[in-house]
Amino acid sequence: MAARRLTEAGMTILERNWRAGRTGEIDIVAQDGDTLVICEVKTRRAGSFEHPMAAITPAKAERLRRLAERWLQAHGSAPPGGVRIDLVGIIVPDRGAPEAEHARGVA
């Protein structure tokens, strides 16, 4: 669902669930024009304690930056537009279809 949302926004998905050893995982790596997008995906049930858009803490943002550096080391230099960290939050209601929200440049 998150990849579809990014594709509908005009992005190209480069990788999904990219792992950097024990450092962690990038949920989605995408390209938005000349910008590399590192996208975190968070899913929550409706009514849960924390909204998925609140998931990027300073520690999580730093981990995503380190993972972006590792991805660039493995795949080449940063594109002209640089690197951006986005978040796709998915809310799963008790009834009905899940809803996705995309926030750009969260960290």
Q: What is the pLDDT of residue 48?
A: 65
pTM attached to this predicted model: 0.90
**C-alpha dist (Å) from residue 85 to 8, 49, 52, 75, 95:** 18, 24, 15, 17, 31
pLDDT of residue 78: 86
Instruction: Write the CATH number for 17.
Output: 3.40.1350.10
> Is residue 27 a contact partner of residue 74, using CB atoms and an 8 Å limit?
no
pLDDT at 24: 92
The per-residue pLDDT for range 34-92, each reduced to its tens digit, is 999 999 999 888 776 677 777 788 898 999 999 999 999 999 888 999 999 999 999 88
Domain that holds residue 60: 2-103
* Number of domains present in the structure of the chain: 1
Q: What is the pLDDT of residue 47?
A: 72
Q: pLDDT tens across 16-27, in order? A: 999 998 889 999
